[in-house]
Amino acid sequence: MRNSSSVYKSKKLVQISLSYDEENHEIHSIKITGDFFLYPEDRLELLETNLIGVKVDRNILRKKIEESLIDSQTFGFDSKSLTEAIMQCI
């Protein structure tokens, strides 16, 4: 298990703290914080939960992020920038 964190500048700052399994290339835990807004607010917790167990692959991550953010509004990041923030940790 490897722990990593990064700060990514999108429209706003996004900070990612995660641990992932280097052998299976899967996210074990993730925390997303920063200077952004997400409505409804409970979507952030849902997003973090949905990313656990996901393979660390740009296309897979982006698809999972988009699925998790359906019917929500983001201010300060989008699925592409959040994917890049996560990949920067790896």
pLDDT in tens, 16-36: 999 999 999 999 999 999 999
Spatial distance between the Cα atoms of 33 and 16, rounded to a whole number of angstroms? 7
Strand partners, 15: 7, 33
CATH code of the domain in which 13 resides: 3.30.390.50
Q: How many domains, in total, are found in the chain? A: 1
Residue identified by tokens 């920063």 is: 34
Regarding pTM above 0.75, the answer is yes
Task: Quote the pLDDT of residue 29.
Answer: 96
CA 40, CA 78: separation in Å to the nearest integer? 15
33-90 pLDDT, tens digit per residue, is 999 999 998 999 999 999 999 999 999 999 999 999 999 999 989 999 999 999 998 8
Q: Within 13 Å, how many C-alpha atoms sit on residue 4's CB side?
A: 15
What is the structure's pLDDT at 4? 84
- Domain around 22: 2-89
Alpha helices in the chain (DSSP H): 42-51, 58-68, 79-89
